[in-house]
Structure 1
């Protein structure tokens, strides 16, 4: 088990570093997403979830649909969140990068300084959390460490986003790792794997759903009269039963029209769960940094360094 966590972590870390260099003015988001996902497969690992690329006030859960025309602008605050899986054991990691290019065309220097500070705050939150994580610690203590570190920048964590425990073939395994002291007295145990992901913002610290659904997860088998919808559900059951999948993967397989009709019907019947992009409540900037760690008696091993 530990060997697989370490191997998936190495793969995810390497791809994260290479992909972050693509975040520059004029690059299509879909090109970055497809690069990350193809590199995970080329490495011999599986994709643990669709590559998330969330810009500025979008905190999470955006991945490109088919034919996405969204481009990075120089100075954008870009969150790259990716996951690799070896033998079902997952590495989940994220970084925030300021898109390279002629920043002066889009942002003032004061705005860029703010972007850099927000990014530093989420990184400081992650460092504090990793220093706190060990067997026997309450998860609320990790959240308190995150909140304290981010508050030193006079910024807020995102209070309604959390990290999560990981198990084989299970991205969200039931334990939440908060970004503030939520008084959860659940105690971590040696050998547990968790993804710690502080988000920092110059806003109030809350996210709401945005329009659109680009990421889904399988929920249950349901009967459908339309044969195309039945075929899509069967495909999801056979290929994406355990971890989230991209709507783009479905439209690539079945065509945009048929794929999107099926996804809408499946979501409406709660055969699949649709994830909406998450936007900071008032449109303020959000950064994220994330590592996967395995809990040890006196600390933790970070697999995604």
Structure 2
């Protein structure tokens, strides 16, 4: 799931103090659990810094990637022109659970000029069409694999070339990324590959460092040469080029129904507190969607969600729309970088 730049290196990174929310809204038991999570996460980060050439929970990241690759193959088998987006999303959710993992975020199903952050609502009637981007996240105990692909449902040559451009950018980035390589060099490789197809990358979307329960952990992978001298360190990275025949930037569109916990807070309504407690317990700092809340709590849960958002506790992602209404294609893999090797966790064979 991509990141849009608003001026900071990680403007949509998930807040580290979010576990305080549970202590203010869900009672002593949740506070104790939240404190334990915070302490465990801190200890893991210290170990990561001290070891550098190793990734804590390495096997879980690899396993999440393998499952994500299986989900991609499954998704490709069910996506057809005219199939409801809601049906696709629910089947993907169910398949992830069937494989004993959890969604790391709601599957993004974004059509044509909508670049990202579009997921079906509980009563969505829209169907698959046009140039469809499918962005999938799988997590095992907070260790995430993030992968995406694009599908041409119009049998359109321009769509096919856009997809090839994004995939070419991804291939170039995977070849370039390594310990010590500057992120701008990776961006340059992506940009050159996409421009060779006479398209442009989207400049204000990027790949990102992934840490446990944190999709956007600070370091970003630009889709163009931004001249920044930031070096790749040991870690888990999502690389996700976007190609477009538009202007090469995205703007905020309408609300997406995708949320994340943003800051500590409380609500007065008892039922809203129950919903908030569930969100803290189930999703922690990872994104979730109104569709999932409706499934758990029905329409009353959606009202509670609005109350929690109004209290400033939640951030709702906007859809991201290409500024010139150009079509957008996306390709993405998750890569683990260590001193010993480079592993593309989400790579699969057709």
| The two structures share one fold, judged by TM-score above 0.5 | yes
Match status 1:281 vs 2:323? yes
1:253 match: 296
Within a 5 Å distance, the mapping from 1:209-224 to structure 2 comes to 209-224=252-267
C-alpha contact (below 8 Å) 2:266/2:311 kept by paired residues: no
C-alpha contact (below 8 Å) 1:206/1:281 kept by paired residues: yes
Q: Distance in 2 between matches of 1:277 and 1:48?
A: 18
Deviations 1:214-264 (A, max 9, x none): 1000123312222232222111111111211011111222222x2232222
SS of 1:67 mapped into structure 2: coil
Q: Structure 2: which 5+ runs fail to align?
A: 1-56
Q: Distance in 2 between matches of 1:216 and 1:67?
A: 18
1:143, distance to aligned residue in structure 2 (A): 0.7
1:113, distance to aligned residue in structure 2 (A): 0.7
1:267 match: 309
| Corresponding residue to 2:95 among 39, 57, 63 | 39
1:229 match: 272
SS of 2:256 mapped into structure 1: coil
Deviations 1:115-171 (A, max 9, x none): 000000000100110011000011111111111110111111010101110111211
1:37, distance to aligned residue in structure 2 (A): 0.9
Structure 1 length as normaliser, TM-score?
A: 0.92
1:65, distance to aligned residue in structure 2 (A): 0.7
SS of 2:263 mapped into structure 1: coil
Q: Structure 1: which 5+ runs fail to align?
A: 104-108
How many residue pairs get aligned? The number is 291
Match status 1:178 vs 2:232? no
Match status 1:188 vs 2:232? yes
2:132 match: 78
SS of 1:21 mapped into structure 2: helix
1:7, distance to aligned residue in structure 2 (A): 0.9
Q: Distance in 2 between matches of 1:199 and 1:298?
A: 29
Q: Distance in 2 between matches of 1:205 and 1:22?
A: 30
Within a 5 Å distance, the mapping from 1:94-133 to structure 2 comes to 94-99=148-153, 103=154, 112-133=156-177
Q: Distance in 2 between matches of 1:93 and 1:216?
A: 19
For the aligned residue pairs, the C-alpha RMSD in angstroms reads 1.4
Structure 2 length as normaliser, TM-score?
A: 0.80
1:24 match: 80
